[in-house]
Structure 1
Amino acid sequence: MIQISNHVYCDKRLEQLEITNRLLPNPYRETPYLIIKNFFTPELCKHLASLVKKDEDAQAAKVKQESISGIIEADIVTKYRKTNIYTLDDFYSEYYEKQFLKYKPVIEEYFGAVMTLSTDIQVLEYKEGYFYVKHADDSSELVDEDGQTVAFKCVAPERKLTTVLFATSHICNSDDDNDGFSGGELLFNYFYDKEGNPVKIKPQAGDMVVFPSNPYFSHEVLPVQKGYRLTLVQWHDAIW
């Protein structure tokens, strides 16, 4: 392992792989990702979750696949991803944008970047048994015949930073809270603590997690065991 922040280590195999974007934050940060507490208040999170639960206009989220011709298309592949996607209503869109402008300087200072364009906000719902397998937000993972990762092909270079806002909380036993969930952790596949344990984010409602979109930050959403996991996800271009 190689140390990339005060408390997080990275799988050293990444140094040997072909990766277009290797940008990492300052190694003297506590972690290579940033957690912003109370980006949304608990009350707003609870109300948002109740709205989405009542919304019947959901679509199954897609994953991008590259064909032998090199054409990249999005399709529904439930063995890789089981997630519902919604459109954020006007009130929450406006409030989110207001909050984002407030915290934008904090994000830029943390990562030493200047943020430019951002994608639309995706509202992603994970019910019991839903998940998303390992992936990098800006790249496709290339594997050999043995299933070993050999390289990453950058397919979304405009994605430099990823933001994930949690509207429900991770709790040990979701039976105690109708708006919480167990399982469903955000797992960084190549990150470990000093004891070698995988880095898993177990958020509280209102927490925003920010991290670079490159393959060092490959991640997955572990299967939700019980409860309801709701996030607002966005990708941002930036200049380093």
Structure 2
Amino acid sequence: MIDLLEIPGFVLDDEREELLAELRAIPGTAATVLSQDMGGRVQPNVRKTTRLAVSPETRERVKEWLMDAKDVLAARFGVALGDCEDPQFLRYEEGDFFVPHQDGNTPLVHDASRFRRVSTVIFLNERSGEPRQGAYGGGPLVLHGHYRTHPGLRVEAPADPGTLVAFRSETTHEVTPVTHGVRYTIACFFRAADAP
């Protein structure tokens, strides 16, 4: 089955609205596949989304929230966790997506992503079946069952505003295309305690 942890209310409404105001006001750049320090490059047929450069204060504040959750995540997934990477603040516009992929901890990958153990996504705005101000449609985070034991299994992660969803970094997952509005999320990866 899929090992998934949901933490509702991880980001409180006033903090979430403050983050959204900052994210809506800043331009961004096309997100790469893997981070720049791992040799990442833009591949719009694989990942089409925008990465937003928030203020250093915002980045550190969110990273602090995530690090405060480290022990809960380590206990839940039974792994020793060290630091988390810098959070990725993401904007998915209509048509944006990320094909099925794994974030790390896979035997065939030899870059720095091999040290990732737990992936997290924080949902910031509401998902709605109908177009309306501040909400988005489509674009769910879908986790896939293991290709040998549960090849057809697909689980849509909860996406309530302020919720943090965590899963093992080797879990195959995708973001299906956004159909309307703009989807705002924060992705972050916790590395193994013994990672260099």
With normalisation by structure 2, the TM-score equals 0.83
* Counterpart residue identity of residue 34, structure 1: L
Give yes or no for the alignment of 1:186 onto 2:141. Answer: yes
d(CA) in 2 for partners of 1:197, 1:78? 26
| 1:170 corresponding residue in structure 2 | 127
| 2:172 corresponding residue in structure 1 | 218
Task: Return the offset for 1:98.
Answer: 3.6
Task: Return the offset for 1:122.
Answer: 0.9
Q: Name the count of aligned residue pairs.
A: 186
In the alignment, structure 2 segments of 5+ residues that lack a partner are none
In the alignment, structure 1 segments of 5+ residues that lack a partner are 9-31, 65-71, 141-151
Whether the aligned pair in 1 keeps the contact of 2:79 and 2:117 (CA below 8 Å) is no
| 1:46 corresponding residue in structure 2 | 17
Whether the aligned pair in 1 keeps the contact of 2:63 and 2:87 (CA below 8 Å) is no
Aligned partner of residue 63 in structure 1, secondary structure: coil
| 1:120 corresponding residue in structure 2 | 86
Percent sequence identity is 25
Whether the aligned pair in 1 keeps the contact of 2:6 and 2:158 (CA below 8 Å) is no
* Counterpart residue identity of residue 49, structure 1: L
With normalisation by structure 1, the TM-score equals 0.69
| 1:235 corresponding residue in structure 2 | 189
Aligned partner of residue 145 in structure 2, secondary structure: strand
Task: Return the offset for 1:185.
Answer: 0.2
Whether the aligned pair in 2 keeps the contact of 1:170 and 1:181 (CA below 8 Å) is yes
Moved >6 Å (runs of 4+): none
Whether the aligned pair in 1 keeps the contact of 2:139 and 2:175 (CA below 8 Å) is yes
- Give a deviation string over 1:80-133, Cα, whole Å, max 9, x none: 111100123234334323422432221121111221122111111101111111
**Greater CA radius of gyration, 1 or 2?**
1
Task: Return the offset for 1:139.
Answer: 6.5
Task: Return the offset for 1:78.
Answer: 1.2
